[in-house]
């Protein structure tokens, strides 16, 4: 009988201690500063490498970087990039039209990896919901920005197609070029 009373008392004390602990935790949180962030009034800054809305950037000279090489559309696993190439007034190849269907895009970033001119870049912008799914199809005019994005100083045309400065075959690891006419039958 004495043992039963003792174990009942122990259970009561244990229960009371548990209750006191939970109330103490509640009280502590009651006086803490709330950490709730009100969206969209407060937009949390996203890390610079967040993969969100895609843009087409420009070189420092203001020209379009995209040369319509189709590499991004070839790399895209869901086929949501399409374009048509043309020659611009300055003789540069560019996209006559360029289209991305953001309703299909999975923001994998493979197109950005594939782009040789750093034209196509994913940005941290993620809030561009639409009521109509057709509005997710972005045309070149909506994609093209007037800056260089993550690589403001990169100028593709300053490097591409520029001669190395030394004659062919003059490098220590390079053979002399062969005159194909000399080996004709």
Q: Which residues bind ligand SF4 (CB under 6 A)?
A: 66-72, 75-78, 80-81, 100, 105-111, 114-115, 117, 119-120
137-139/81-87 β-pairing = unpaired
Count CB-CB contacts under 10 A for residue 74: 12
Please, where are the H alpha helices in the chain?
Answer: 2-30, 71-75, 110-114, 140-143
The minimum distance between CB 91 and ligand SF4, in angstroms, equals: 16
Coil vs helix vs strand at 89:
coil
137-139/54-56 β-pairing = unpaired
Q: Across the strands, what pairs with 144?
A: 56
The minimum distance between CB 33 and ligand SF4, in angstroms, equals: 38
Name which of 159 and 181 has its Cβ closer to ligand SF4.
159
Name which of 68 and 148 has its Cβ closer to ligand SF4.
68
Residues near 17 by beta carbon (within 8 Å), at least 6 away in sequence: none
Name which of 108 and 137 has its Cβ closer to ligand SF4.
108
80 is in an annotated binding site: no
66 is in an annotated binding site: yes
Residue 24 and residue 29: Cα distance in Å, rounded? 9
Name which of 113 and 174 has its Cβ closer to ligand SF4.
113
The minimum distance between CB 40 and ligand SF4, in angstroms, equals: 24
129 is in an annotated binding site: no
Tokens representing 127 are 């809030």
The beta strand positions in 34-178, using DSSP E, are: 54-56, 81-87, 93-101, 120-122, 137-139
Name which of 87 and 174 has its Cβ closer to ligand SF4.
87
The minimum distance between CB 70 and ligand SF4, in angstroms, equals: 6
The minimum distance between CB 135 and ligand SF4, in angstroms, equals: 17
Binding residues for [4Fe-4S] cluster, by number, are 66, 69, 72, 76, 105, 108, 111, 115
Binding residues, by number, are 66, 69, 72, 76, 105, 108, 111, 115
């Amino acid at each position: 009988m004495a043992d039963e009373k003792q174990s009942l008392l122990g259970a009561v004390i244990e229960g009371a201690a548990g209750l006191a602990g939970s109330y103490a935790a509640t009280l502590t949180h009651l006086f803490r500063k709330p950490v709730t962030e009100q969206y969209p009034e407060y937009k949390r800054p996203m890390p610079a490498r967040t993969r969100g809305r895609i843009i087409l950037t420009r070189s420092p000279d203001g020209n379009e970087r995209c040369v319509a090489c189709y590499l991004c559309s070839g790399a895209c696993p869901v086929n949501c990039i399409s374009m048509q190439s043309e020659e611009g007034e300055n003789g540069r190849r560019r996209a006559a039209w360029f289209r991305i269907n953001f309703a299909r895009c999975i923001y994998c970033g493979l197109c950005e990896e594939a782009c040789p001119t750093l034209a196509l870049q994913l940005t941290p912008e993620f809030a561009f919901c639409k009521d109509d799914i057709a509005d997710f199809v972005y045309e070149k005019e909506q994609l093209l920005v007037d800056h260089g994005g993550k690589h403001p100083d990169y100028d593709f045309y300053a490097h591409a197609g520029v001669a190395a400065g030394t004659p062919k075959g003059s490098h220590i690891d390079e053979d002399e070029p062969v005159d194909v006419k000399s080996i004709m039958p």
